[in-house]
Structure 1
Amino acid sequence: MWLLPVLFLPVVQGSSVLVAVPNAVSGPARGSLTVQCRYEPGWETYSKWWCREVESSKCYILVQTNGSEQEVKDDRVSIKDDQKLRTFTVTMEELRWDDADTYWCGIERSGPNPAAKVKVTVDPVTVQCHYGPGWEPYVKSWCPDADLNNCAILVLTTGSRLRKNELSINQKKHTFSMAIWGE
Structure 2
Amino acid sequence: MWLLLVLFLPIVQGSYPLMAVSNAVSGPVRGSVTVQCRYEPGWETYKKWWCRGAKWENCRILVKTNGSGEKAKGNQVSIQDNQKMHMFTVTMEELRWNDADTYWCGIEKSGTDLGVKVKVTIDPVTMQCHYGPEWETYVRSWCQDADLSSCTIVVQTTGSELKKNHVSINQKMHTFSMTIWGE
TM-score, scaled relative to structure 1: 0.83
1:161-172 → structure 2 map (5 Å cutoff): 161-162=161-162, 164=164, 165-170=167-172, 172=173
| Identity, % of aligned positions | 67
Q: Does 1:111 align with 2:117?
A: no
Distance in structure 2 (CA, Å) of the matches to 1:55 and 1:124: 26
Distance in structure 1 (CA, Å) of the matches to 2:147 and 2:118: 40
Q: RMSD across aligned C-alpha pairs, in angstroms?
A: 1.9
Q: Whose Rg is larger?
A: 2
SS in 1 for 2:42: coil
Distance in structure 1 (CA, Å) of the matches to 2:73 and 2:79: 7
Distance in structure 2 (CA, Å) of the matches to 1:36 and 1:153: 40
Structure number with greater CO (CA < 8 Å, separation at least 6) is 1
The amino acid across from 1:16 in the alignment is: Y
1:3-42 → structure 2 map (5 Å cutoff): 15-42=15-42
TM-score, scaled relative to structure 2: 0.83
Structure 2 residue aligned with 1:62: 62
Give the helix-richer structure, 1 or 2. 2
The amino acid across from 1:166 in the alignment is: S
Deviation of residue 38 (structure 1)? Answer: 0.5
Structure 2 residue aligned with 1:6: none
Displacement over 4 Å in runs of 4+: none
Q: Does 1:180 align with 2:180?
A: yes
- Structure 2, unpaired ranges of 5+: 1-13
Matched pairs, number: 167
- Structure 1, unpaired ranges of 5+: 1-13
